[in-house]
Amino acid sequence: MKKLINDPADVVTEALQGMELAHADLIRVHYDPNYIVRADAPVQGKVGVLSGGGSGHEPMHGGFVGRGMLDAACPGAVFTSPTPDQVHAATKAVDGGAGVLHLVKNYTGDVANFEMAAELAEAEGLTVRSVVIDDDVAVKDSLYTAGRRGVGGTVLIEKLVGAAAERGDDLDSLAALAERINGQVRSMGMALTPCTVPHAGEPTFTLGEDEMEIGIGIHGEPGRERLPLEPADRITERLLEPIIEDLPFQSGDRTLLFVNGMGGTPLIELYIVYRHAVEVLRERGIEVVRSLVGSYITSLEMAGTSITLLRMDDELVELWDAPVLTPALRKGV
């Protein structure tokens, strides 16, 4: 294992300390329990928007804390959901009297820990609503799985719902908006290489030089299908076609296309994927009106990409264009 770390046990804490030093103008970090809040939290009269999950997906979620996006993020251990006391403490820290919205990615651990945290907060008289995000088409949504995972769509939901909270939407409206976006966003990812969790010390799976994993998750968990490596255009089609068919996206749809890097893939390759994704969408009469290209929801040093497609409307375009000022995403300010 070759990593820029000190003791594997200190990875999350030391990274938080670095973030705090680098972005003191935007965020504050609380330790034990660990959570990040925007510098001016709690914002009185505004709904607090909170998310969290295992570490190792940076910049998600901590990098998205700030004006126009998240009020708080709770980082767990690497690839491990945060604990209820973290989420509970962060919920109290961002409650400005208008309630707190929990945006939860659909993983067994995340859902269970956020559920316990919401119960603790509600027992103290706070109002909490939770929306579970499950946009990954690689997983069959059936009684026979834990359901679809929350992946790339999470980044878009955090931006759009954060913008709506900033303009003053109430808790119920924000929860409804998050549900609505979750219903019209779909994602799928793939890996060229595995990743190594620091405390595990060895890769969570192995891939041959000429192999790739389609339908990969964001925790180094293997995907659904292992195939021989193919050119970027074919891989793009393998990811995009199930996405289009699942919703389904149709001719005339206006979309936001998000091509994400898994952590170890350079931007130059992501643009190659983006280019062909637009070609495929155009062929089907699907218009791309907004874009996001870069590594925003990662899996440590895994090489690979995920594609996320969101059906847009005028309101979502307006929310996407609204100012956002966070360590990892800033525009319009």
Site string for other proteins, 243-272 (x = CB under 8 A): ------------------------------
Q: Does residue 327 interact with other proteins by CB under 8 A?
A: no
Q: Does residue 130 interact with other proteins by CB under 8 A?
A: no
Of 37, 138, 165, 188, which one interacts with other proteins (CB under 8 A)?
138
- Select 49 or 195, whichever has its Cβ closest to other proteins: 195
Q: Does residue 139 interact with other proteins by CB under 8 A?
A: yes
Q: Does residue 150 interact with other proteins by CB under 8 A?
A: no
Residue type, 100: V
CA dihedral in degrees (35, 41, 42, 48; nearest 10)?
Answer: -60
Q: Does residue 81 interact with other proteins by CB under 8 A?
A: yes
Q: How many residues interact with other proteins (rule CB under 8 A)?
A: 40
Confirm whether 219 is a catalytic residue. yes
Give me the catalytic one of 23, 57, 61, 276: 57
Q: Which of residues 13-72 bind other proteins (CB under 8 A)?
A: 33, 54
- Select 25 or 144, whichever has its Cβ closest to other proteins: 144
Burial profile 114-142: b = 16 or more Cβ within 10 angstroms, e = fewer = bbebbebbeeeebbbbbbbbbbbbbbeee
CA dihedral in degrees (212, 214, 217, 223; nearest 10)?
Answer: -90
Q: Does residue 331 interact with other proteins by CB under 8 A?
A: no
Cβ 75 to other proteins shortest distance, Å: 10
Of 29, 37, 57, 83, which one interacts with other proteins (CB under 8 A)?
83
Give me the catalytic one of 23, 88, 102, 219: 219
Confirm whether 30 is a catalytic residue. no
Candidate segments 81-89, 153-161, 174-182, 301-309, binder of other proteins by CB under 8 A: 81-89
Cα angle, residue 14 at apex, residues 13 and 18 outer, rounded to 5°: 120
Of 76, 152, 162, 263, which one interacts with other proteins (CB under 8 A)?
76
Of 38, 49, 103, 113, which one interacts with other proteins (CB under 8 A)?
113
Q: Which of residues 183-212 bind other proteins (CB under 8 A)?
A: 197, 199-200, 202, 204-205
For binding to other proteins (CB under 8 A), which residues are involved?
Answer: 33, 54, 76-85, 107-109, 112-113, 115-116, 138-140, 143-146, 149, 197, 199-200, 202, 204-205, 217, 219-224
Active site residues: 57, 219
